[in-house]
Amino acid sequence: MTGSYEGKRGLVLGVANRRSIAWAIAKRLSSGGAELAFTYQGERIEKNVRDLAESVSSPLVTECDVRSDEDIERVFREVAETFDGGLDLLVHSVAYAAAEDLEGRFTDTPRDRFWLALDISAYSLVSCARAAEPLMEARGGGAILTMTYLGGERTVPHYNVMGVAKATLDASVRYLAWDLGQKSIRVNAISAGPVRTLAARSIAGFPTMEAIVEERSPLRRHIEADDVGAAAAYLLSDDARNVTGTILYVDSGYHSMGM
């Protein structure tokens, strides 16, 4: 895939550390020649993100609270200034639900935390796509990629409100693909199997989820962040120029099984 992104400019949201799926994707894009900007959320992970961004010679690292339209608008203004008014690639790997809502019963999710999960995990894609649209149009098109999970289609115990948020995200991908397609902007998602990331630690029963995939998937093996990075490299490349509104499963085939 080396050389596939020469001259491309991208923005990556969601890197937390070296084990992040977003970082696995960023490494693939950078090794292929893409120039990348990064965002981070909060001082706790700022140094991690800045150190990783520096390793790929990123020209821009900036804080972003995806709950704020004003903050998103500022970030994309900075991106436009850094990349001469254009953007080719957008990686959205952002999701959040309160830890207490990822255990126990979905029925007990309070209203405020229900909307918080949907705002951060799903609506943020809409707001980022809206901000990216004129920058991608200026480049003659672009590619947007987000991260989803099978829990948005089927009940996964303890995934709870995050499953509802992923279902919303999945539908958003399809509607965004329709809206932006006439400007040659593609919107896709990857549905990955369980990956050992910082976010995964907050899901009760994660080791069980991982063990079930290994036991019951056709390929009978775990998923690594680099597997997702490889799939993302395809969807974000010109090789996928006619692929949009699609969810690509990277889960050893687990999604195809009935039991």
Query: What are the catalytic residues?
Result: 149, 159
- Reference 10, options 245, 251, 247, 233; nearest CA is 233
DSSP secondary structure code for residue 257 in this structure: -
Which residues have C-beta within 8 Å of that of residue 84, sequence separation ≥ 6? none
Q: What six digits make up the tokens of 200?
A: 């995964």
Amino acid symbol at 169 = L
Question: Which tokens in the block code for residue 174?
Answer: 């399809």
Cα–Cα–Cα angle for 173, 44, 208, rounded to 5 degrees = 60
| Burial environment of residue 159 by CB neighbours within 10 A (0 to 12, 13 to 18, 19 or more) | buried
Tracing tokens 């799903």 back to the chain, one arrives at: 122
Residue with tokens 């050992």: 196
CA 52 – CA 175 distance, rounded (Å): 33
**Tokens 């399809």 -> residue:** 174
* Cα Rg, the chain, nearest whole Å: 17
